[in-house]
Structure 1
Amino acid sequence: MTRLSVEMLAADTVDPITSAGHAQLGIAVLVGIAVLVLLITKSKLHAFLSLTIGSLALGAVAGAPLDKVITSFSGGLGDTVAGVGVLIALGAILGKLLADSGGADQIVDTILAKASTRTMPWAMVLIAGIIGLPLFFEVGMVLMIPVVLLVAKRGNLSLMRIGIPALAGLSVMHGLVPPHPGPLAAIDAVHADLGVTLALGVLIAIPTAIIAGPVFSRVADRWVDVTPPDRLMPTRPSEDLERRPGFAATVGTVLLPVVLMLIKALVDIAVDDPENTTQRIADVIGNPLVALLAAVIVGMVTLGRAAGFTRDRIATTVETSLAPIAGILLIVAAGGGFKQTLIDIGVGNMIMDISKEWNVSALLLAWLIAVAIRLATGSATVATISAAGLMGPLTADMSTTHVALLVLAIGAGSLFFSHVNDAGFWLVKEYFGMSVGQTVRTWSVMETIISVVALGFVLLLSLVI
């Protein structure tokens, strides 16, 4: 079900911690989000602190006792860490093994060796999509940029024709496909099925990346013509290694958690019997924690040992992979606290009450909320978590597939029009040697295309499944 209607009113029956009316709750939401936006954009305060303060402001304006607001925030923070924190950590370890062992470079070199000038944009979006599965966007970009610059220079190819497909592949994976933090947090917030969300996310991600990547790159190439200076030509991560993992082993390791989670989703659909032995086994091996843990353990051999890493070197790689995600983990956790505060003060019930007569798609509403927060804060993760918190109570009567589509609609909205308040905007600008205007005409437009096209596919799928 995708309509906000009377049928959706069987949401979580949690007594609100405040007796505020709809008007006061609406003002509280606006104030809480405004405080969050101003602290992030104007005061340049870290998103973790901004979300914490925003949650307190939200509860205070709603008239809730502050001790209960603190309890709600702390509970949401803890539940979110328990739900997605370990998965984010495991994803970071796998990504670090992939980068440090030279596995990422092996994927790149193998595919590029078989690509012609005509097929190079398609090769770049394929590479970015594979590498982007286990890696955070910023890490994937740092890995891909040297490849983009080197291919463009040595092949005398347009930077836009090579770079836009690579960026599109990374961004689509970041916004739509778990185990990235945003989709994971949204799945946890609305209690979506991870396997179904993953399957539908990949299904939507492929055509979206093609349209925003190789197809749009033709237009971007006509709009912007830049040649990055030589000083921006970084070294590749694996140049100091004596050997690298094999291509098949590397791709197999990267795709292992995806395959295990998809197997679980398919078995759940085919068997649909919690007591069936096959389904119980599939539920275990397809559990995201088990799937990612298996990939990490396998990766220590297929990536680490294959690159000649000693046990101490592997241990160091694992250790150093965790420090950079501390900020991301805290932001996601605080976002969970903000989400729980929204629920506990009764915002979910308010939205359901005032939307009984609305004839608007819940998927479209979720996308619009994510777009608004994305434009205001510049953070895809904050937009995803906040929108999921607001939409969570509306999923009570939705089918499993439509809850998954709701997650994807939120993820699509969180990517809309990256601009000057987004760190990714400046990363692309500096690496590609573009002006602000050129970055808007390429990167920002590409992000908008991803957001709108992905929403279109989400709405289309909602009509047929």
Structure 2
Amino acid sequence: MTRLSVEMLAADTAEPITSAGHAQLGIAVLVGIAVIVLLITKFKLHAFLSLTIGSLALGAVASAPLDKVIASFTGGLGSTVAGVGVLIALGAILGKLLADSGGADQIVDTILAKASDRTMPWAMVLIAGIIGLPLFFEVGIVLMIPVVLLVAKRGNYSLMRVGIPALAGLSVMHGLVPPHPGPLAAISAVDANLGVTLALGVLIAVPTAIIAGPLFGRVAARWVDIAPPEGLVPERPSEDLKHRPSFAATVSTVLLPVVLMLAKALVDIVIDDPKNTVQRVTDVIGSPLIALLAAVIVAMFTLGRAAGFRKDRLAITVEKSFVPIAGILLIVGAGGGFKQTLIDVGVGQMILDFSESWAVSPLLLAWLIAVGIRLATGSATVATISAAGLVAPLAADMSTTHVALLVLAVGAGSLFFSHVNDAGFWLVKEYFGMDVGQTIKTWSVMETIISVVSLVFVLLLSLIL
């Protein structure tokens, strides 16, 4: 059992660093979030700096001592990075090995060779889902969009018919399935069971990706019927690889950490005896650190060495994988600092007090909070971390399954209606050669469908489990 205990909750909220009342704390939250939004959207300040300044503004309005606000923020930043930083780094290494070895191309080429015109959108969502498991969304989208353009150009497909499924597969994985940074940070914030969250996340992700991908893609293709823009369709680079890893080896390597973590969750449910030898073993090998570390080590052989990488090439690949995650780590860490500041000034307890008289489901409340922050900041990661911090106290009286669903409700809300303050919006717009209106009718609507449909599945599961 890894859910947030009452004792841990009491330790976090029993002695707030300010004596402000609920009204003042409510204003402080609004001011803190408004400062973050304004700095990100109006002044284009980096999310790390915006979250830092917003945390200080929150503490100031709540009349908290500055030194205690700083201690809360730095403590939350440190604990968040300590909890998810290594996992993000391991995920980056695995993703880099997948891309550089040609493993990603192998997955793409194999599935596309077997797909007919009718099944092509389904193949694209499948590719994106598999590719999206170990890759950050930004990396996945840069990898998949050139493939989408090539497929649309060579097969004379509507760009939206094959593009929307690919984008849906990537986005669903990004918002709902660990080891992506947002879900990992939310799991840490509410102390959810990672294996259970992963299992339920995959269970929700599959039908959600189908609805928002191949099914909505048919509608989007009628709304925006465009061909791949001239000059943007990439040519495949000349490869200096001796070999490419096989399809089976590549898929097995990508799925290894997922299988290990799901095995841990299954054993925890079936055996549920901490002293049982089998459960103790699966608790170790199914922990996210060991599961991802095992996948990275295996990938060095099944992907790197299979592609002809020598020791020096492997070392370079690993080193280069760390460069893109610096900004992600800072944002995730600062989001954790903002979350801890919210808790320490007493906002978590305030929400817990108010929720006793609310007729709103905690899962729906978590989704609504994440939606508001997502619309305001444009960042799914910031929305996930901030919302998880706000609703963390609600997890105290929940079962392990419902705590996991709370994480998924937050993740679903963080994907709602991407628009002009989201970098992904502009990336899709430029690659697909669309104007702002066309991008809203396709990409933004797709993100909204993912958010709403996954929330529906979360609420349905909450009634069953």
Aligned to 1:20: 20
Once the two structures are TM-superposed, the CA of residue 49 in structure 1 deviates from its matched residue by: 0.4
Whether contact under 8 Å (1:11, 1:396) holds in the other structure is no
Aligned to 2:123: 123
Specify the SS of the correspondent of 1:264. helix
Aligned to 1:206: 206
Aligned to 2:311: 311
Confirm or deny that 1:187 pairs with 2:153: no
Q: Distance in 2 between matches of 1:172 and 1:136?
A: 12
Q: Distance in 2 between matches of 1:411 and 1:292?
A: 21
Aligned to 1:438: 438
Q: Distance in 2 between matches of 1:57 and 1:177?
A: 32
1:11-59: CA deviations, max 9, x gaps? 9543100000001000000000000000000010000000000000001
Whether contact under 8 Å (2:13, 2:343) holds in the other structure is no
For 1:276, the aligned partner's letter is: N
Aligned to 1:78: 78
Q: Distance in 2 between matches of 1:343 and 1:31?
A: 16
Aligned to 2:196: 196
1:364-393: CA deviations, max 9, x gaps? 000000000000000000000000000001
1:92-134: CA deviations, max 9, x gaps? 0000000010100000011111110000000000000000000
Distance change in 2, residues 1:245/1:349 (3 Å): same
For 1:245, the aligned partner's letter is: P
Q: Distance in 1 between matches of 2:184 and 2:95?
A: 16
Q: Distance in 2 between matches of 1:13 and 1:71?
A: 15
Distance change in 2, residues 1:358/1:464 (3 Å): same
Once the two structures are TM-superposed, the CA of residue 243 in structure 1 deviates from its matched residue by: 1.7
Specify the SS of the correspondent of 1:396. helix
Once the two structures are TM-superposed, the CA of residue 143 in structure 1 deviates from its matched residue by: 1.0
Specify the SS of the correspondent of 1:138. helix
Structure 2's unaligned 5+ residue stretches are 1-8
For 1:76, the aligned partner's letter is: G
Once the two structures are TM-superposed, the CA of residue 145 in structure 1 deviates from its matched residue by: 1.2
Q: Distance in 2 between matches of 1:296 and 1:198?
A: 19
Aligned to 1:339: 339
Q: Distance in 1 between matches of 2:333 and 2:10?
A: 27
Q: Distance in 2 between matches of 1:23 and 1:250?
A: 55
For 1:312, the aligned partner's letter is: D
Once the two structures are TM-superposed, the CA of residue 357 in structure 1 deviates from its matched residue by: 1.3
Distance change in 2, residues 1:235/1:318 (3 Å): farther
Q: Distance in 2 between matches of 1:238 and 1:463?
A: 53
Q: Where do residues 28-427 of structure 1 align in structure 2 (5 Å cutoff)?
A: 28-236=28-236, 239-427=239-427
Whether contact under 8 Å (2:366, 2:409) holds in the other structure is yes
TM-score by length of 2: 0.97
For 2:63, the aligned partner's letter is: G
Whether contact under 8 Å (2:152, 2:228) holds in the other structure is no
Aligned to 2:3: none
Whether contact under 8 Å (1:175, 1:414) holds in the other structure is yes
Aligned to 2:447: 447
Once the two structures are TM-superposed, the CA of residue 463 in structure 1 deviates from its matched residue by: 0.2
Q: Distance in 1 between matches of 2:335 and 2:53?
A: 11
Distance change in 2, residues 1:165/1:238 (3 Å): farther
For 1:18, the aligned partner's letter is: T
Whether contact under 8 Å (1:10, 1:396) holds in the other structure is no
For 2:301, the aligned partner's letter is: V
Q: Distance in 2 between matches of 1:389 and 1:238?
A: 47
Once the two structures are TM-superposed, the CA of residue 147 in structure 1 deviates from its matched residue by: 1.2
Q: Distance in 1 between matches of 2:118 and 2:80?
A: 45
RMSD: 1.1
Whether contact under 8 Å (2:12, 2:343) holds in the other structure is no
Q: Distance in 2 between matches of 1:24 and 1:238?
A: 61
For 1:223, the aligned partner's letter is: W
Structure 1 residue runs of 4 or more that deviate by more than 6 Å after TM superposition: none
Q: Distance in 2 between matches of 1:162 and 1:11?
A: 50
Aligned to 2:4: none
Q: Distance in 2 between matches of 1:229 and 1:62?
A: 52
For 2:50, the aligned partner's letter is: S
Q: Distance in 2 between matches of 1:13 and 1:238?
A: 58
Aligned to 1:464: 464
For 2:260, the aligned partner's letter is: L
Distance change in 2, residues 1:344/1:452 (3 Å): same
Distance change in 2, residues 1:67/1:12 (3 Å): closer
Q: Distance in 2 between matches of 1:316 and 1:10?
A: 47
Whether contact under 8 Å (1:169, 1:209) holds in the other structure is yes
For 1:284, the aligned partner's letter is: V
Q: Distance in 2 between matches of 1:437 and 1:446?
A: 14
1:390-439: CA deviations, max 9, x gaps? 00011101000000000000000000000000000000001001111100
Aligned to 2:6: none
Q: Distance in 1 between matches of 2:11 and 2:200?
A: 24
Aligned residues with identical type, % of pairs: 85
Q: Distance in 2 between matches of 1:95 and 1:14?
A: 42
For 1:85, the aligned partner's letter is: G
Once the two structures are TM-superposed, the CA of residue 242 in structure 1 deviates from its matched residue by: 3.1
Whether contact under 8 Å (1:105, 1:238) holds in the other structure is no
Distance change in 2, residues 1:443/1:11 (3 Å): farther
